[in-house]
Amino acid sequence: MKGSRLFWTESVLGGLSALFCVLTLVWKDWIEIVFRFDPDHHSGSLEWAIAAGALVVTVVFGVLARMEWRRTALA
């Protein structure tokens, strides 16, 4: 049961980071709107960095969830 909880935690966190990545790609100026601050002077570089980071996190959690799923399936 413990492995199942870890699998679902990793899956949910991976899904949330994927959603955050897509949201950042679709809504490019959310940082300026939410924080009323323009750190990249409308170049979009910060948003691209955030989207890339969220994509990496998504892949990592996906791999971890798959490993956990296989580990508990074999046990």
- pLDDT tens sequence across 8-28: 999 999 999 999 999 888 988
Q: Which residue has the higher pLDDT, 72 or 3?
A: 72
Ordered by start, the domain boundaries in the chain are: 2-74
Instruction: Decide which of 40 and 55 is more confident.
Output: 55
pLDDT at 42 over 60: yes
Taking 3-state DSSP, the helix, strand and coil percentages for the chain, each rounded to the nearest 5, stand at: 80, 0, 20
Please tell me the predicted confidence (pLDDT) of residue 72. 86
Contact by Cβ (8 Å): 17, 57 = yes
Distance CA 51, CA 61 (A): 15
Sequence-distant (6+) residues with CB within 8 A of 54 are: 17, 18, 20, 21, 24
